[in-house]
């Protein structure tokens, strides 16, 4: 309670008005709210500055580990921009009050409606740029992936959300975990940048030209082949690709990713989709697609 006896909202409950006020008071950034975007796990808002520049504002409650992760992400993205990846630049970031904020450029473009062979070529080029661009923090990659099928390791994959799930979900989860445990751990430590939520849902295009890859907040060091598998899942679960593009992507995964690693990445990708779909109208679709997806990537 405040001295006046009124409840003070937690940072996780703050709306854009409170954050914009903090930015002006503590950073001298005067931004005008335009709208909230329809997509975005943590919330993203379009704002404009005094010069009329369109920008995107995001924030999360401040924690020291979150701030450290944001600094690591910034270093990775700087490397990727230097390699030509279309990633929005950051105009300002840091702490104000009890929130960790980021203001980035607004990129014109639309969401992907169809993945053509030409667009896939650009996505593959972005993943190629991610290879070898890590910060040397990939030694725990395999443990992170396999462990993430049993316990919450990231907000994007939360096995705890499946407590009390249906028999069909339990059966699939058991199968996914068996695939991961049976796989032989890779001998090398990967040093790629992994977006971790890569795919058509997180890119913008202008015609067939890729204009931006968005939502890098979960990126980490590891094997960029994981991003190819999540892209393949996206196209399997929500078909929107030309047959030539699907065939090309499958071939690229098989060329660059060891079979047991691809199967483990497929298992992890399916489980993370189960964690958001369990108990919803999409559960049956995800379970059915999950089995067929795993069949394809575990076939010898």
Q: What is the pLDDT of residues 230-268, one digit of tens each?
A: 999 999 999 899 999 999 999 999 999 999 999 999 999
Do 273 and 286 meet the contact criterion of CB atoms below 8 Å apart?
yes
Domain boundary residue, one of 70, 105, 140: 105
Regarding whether 99 and 119 lie in a shared domain, the answer is: no
Over residues 129-142, the pLDDT tens digits come to 999 999 999 999 99
* DSSP3 helix / strand / coil % (the chain, rounded to 5): 45, 20, 35
Residue % of the chain over a pLDDT of 70: 94
Q: How far is CA 105 from CA 24, 41, 48, 68, 93, in A?
A: 18, 19, 10, 22, 12
The verdict on residue 172 lying in a domain is yes
Do the domain assignments include residue 1? no
Q: What is the pLDDT of residues 140-168, one digit of tens each?
A: 999 999 999 999 999 999 999 999 999 99
Residues 100 and 138 grouped into a single domain: no
**Which residue, chain included where needed, has tokens 């010898």?**
300
Residue 249 phi/psi, 5-degree rounding, is -65, -45
Judgement on whether residues 257 and 130 belong to the same structural domain of the protein: yes
Q: What CATH number corresponds to the domain at position 75?
A: 3.30.200.20
Q: Are residues 92 and 137 in the same domain?
A: no
Number of domains in the chain: 2
> Which pLDDT band, with edges at 50, 70 and 90, does 42 fall under?
low
Among candidate residues 108, 268, 254, the one with its CA nearest the CA of residue 180: 268
For 70, the 3-state DSSP assignment is: helix
Last residue of a domain, one of 105, 134, 155: 105
Decide if 4 is inside a domain.
Answer: no
User: What's the pLDDT at 6?
Assistant: 39
Same domain, 94 and 182: no
**Last residue within a domain, chosen from 80, 105, 130:** 105
* Integer Rg of the chain from CA: 20
pLDDT band at 39 (very low <50, low <70, confident <90, very high): low
- The mean pLDDT value for 292-297 works out to 97
What is the distance of C-alpha 36 from the center of its chain?
A: 19
Contacts of 187 (CB under 8 A, 6+ apart): none
Tell me: do 159 and 285 sit in the same domain. Answer: yes
Query: Are 97 and 155 contained in the same domain?
Result: no
Q: Are strands 192-194 and 99-105 parallel, antiparallel or unpaired?
A: unpaired
- Quick one: pLDDT at residue 7? 43
Strand locations in the chain, DSSP E?
A: 32-36, 44-48, 54-61, 90-96, 99-105, 110-111, 192-194, 203-206, 209-213, 220-222
Q: pLDDT at position 187, please? A: 86
| Boundaries of domain holding 27 | 11-105
Is the pLDDT at 3 greater than 60? The verdict is no
Retrieve residue 117's tokens. 């062979």
- Are residue 138 and residue 219 in the same domain, yes or no? yes
- pLDDT for res 38: 79
Three-class HEC string of 168-193: HHHHHHHHHHHHHHHCCCCCCCCCEE
In a domain, 290, yes or no: yes
Residue 2 within a domain = no
The 10s digit of each residue's pLDDT in 87-128 is 999 999 999 999 999 999 999 999 999 999 999 999 999 999
CATH number (domain holding residue 148): 3.90.1200.10
Confidence (pLDDT) at 299: 85
Q: With respect to residue 24, please indicate whether it lies within any of the assigned structural domains.
A: yes
**pLDDT tens digit string along 207-216?**
999 999 999 9
Give the up-direction half-sphere exposure of residue 14: CA atoms within 13 A in the CB hemisphere. 22
């Amino acid at each position: 309670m405040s001295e006046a006896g009124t409840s003070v909202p937690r940072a996780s409950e703050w709306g854009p008005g409170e954050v914009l006020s903090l930015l002006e008071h503590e950073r001298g950034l005067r931004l005008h709210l335009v709208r909230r975007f329809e997509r975005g796990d943590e919330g993203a808002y379009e704002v404009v500055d005094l010069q009329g520049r369109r920008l995107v504002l995001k924030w999360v409650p401040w924690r020291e580990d979150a701030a450290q992760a944001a600094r690591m992400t910034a270093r990775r993205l700087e490397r990727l921009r230097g390699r030509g990846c279309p990633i929005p630049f950051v105009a300002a970031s840091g702490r104000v009050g009890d929130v960790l904020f980021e203001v980035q450029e607004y990129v014109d473009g639309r969401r992907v409606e169809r993945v053509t062979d030409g667009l896939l070529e650009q996505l593959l080029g972005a993943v190629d740029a991610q290879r070898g661009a890590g910060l040397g923090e990939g030694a725990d990659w395999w443990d992170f992936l396999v462990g993430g099928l049993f316990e919450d390791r990231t907000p994007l994959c939360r096995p705890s959300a499946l407590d009390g799930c249906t028999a069909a979900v339990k059966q699939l989860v058991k199968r996914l975990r068996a695939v991961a445990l049976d796989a032989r751990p890779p001998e090398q430590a990967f040093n790629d940048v992994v977006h971790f939520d890569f795919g058509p849902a997180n890119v913008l295009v202008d015609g067939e030209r890729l204009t931006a890859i968005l939502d890098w907040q979960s990126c980490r060091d590891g094997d960029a082949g994981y991003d190819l598998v999540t892209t393949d899942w996206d196209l399997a679960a929500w078909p929107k690709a030309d047959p030539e593009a699907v065939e090309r992507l499958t071939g690229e995964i098989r060329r660059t990713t060891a079979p047991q690693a691809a199967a483990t990445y497929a298992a992890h990708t399916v489980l993370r989709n189960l964690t958001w779909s369990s108990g919803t109208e999409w559960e049956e679709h995800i379970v059915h697609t999950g089995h067929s997806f795993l069949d394809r990537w575990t076939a010898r």
